[in-house]
């Protein structure tokens, strides 16, 4: 597993202080579409290893980060570039849609 597990404690260092592109999947264990996206996030983290930091954060266990980024529905995918939010996608995203988004942001 090359995906990062983000938490309230490590989010600042792992996502916001990271150089380059970071993709964060906001999810919950009970969320159906989130479960469908999990293997996609895993495959993308392998495919873009060394180019993009890709990981997920459980909204139930990490209310601070979820609140700060106004996560109201899940899954939500947020892209950060050099610590700045550059894109926010709400709802299930296909692997193809995420690849296109990553390529456009790289």
Whether 41 is catalytic: no
Q: Give the angle subtended at the CA of 61 by the CAs of 58 and 102, to the nearest 5°.
A: 20
CA distances from 52 to 30, 32, 83, 93, 95 (A): 27, 26, 13, 17, 15
CA-closest candidate to residue 44, choices 28, 23, 68: 23
Q: Give me the catalytic one of 22, 24, 31, 65.
A: 31
Whether 63 is catalytic: no
The residue behind tokens 């996030």 is 41
Q: Give me the catalytic one of 4, 34, 40, 59.
A: 34
Catalytic amino acids? Answer: 31, 34
């Amino acid at each position: 597993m090359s995906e990062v597990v983000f938490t309230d404690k490590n989010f600042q260092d792992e996502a916001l202080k990271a150089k380059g592109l970071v993709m964060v999947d906001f999810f919950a264990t009970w969320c159906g579409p989130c479960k469908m996206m999990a293997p996609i996030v895993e495959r993308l983290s392998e495919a873009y290893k060394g180019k993009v930091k890709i990981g997920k954060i459980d909204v139930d266990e990490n209310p601070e980060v979820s609140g700060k980024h106004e996560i109201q529905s899940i899954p939500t995918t947020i892209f950060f570039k050099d610590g700045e939010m550059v894109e926010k996608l709400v709802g299930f995203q296909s692997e193809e849609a995420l690849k296109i988004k990553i390529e456009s942001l790289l």
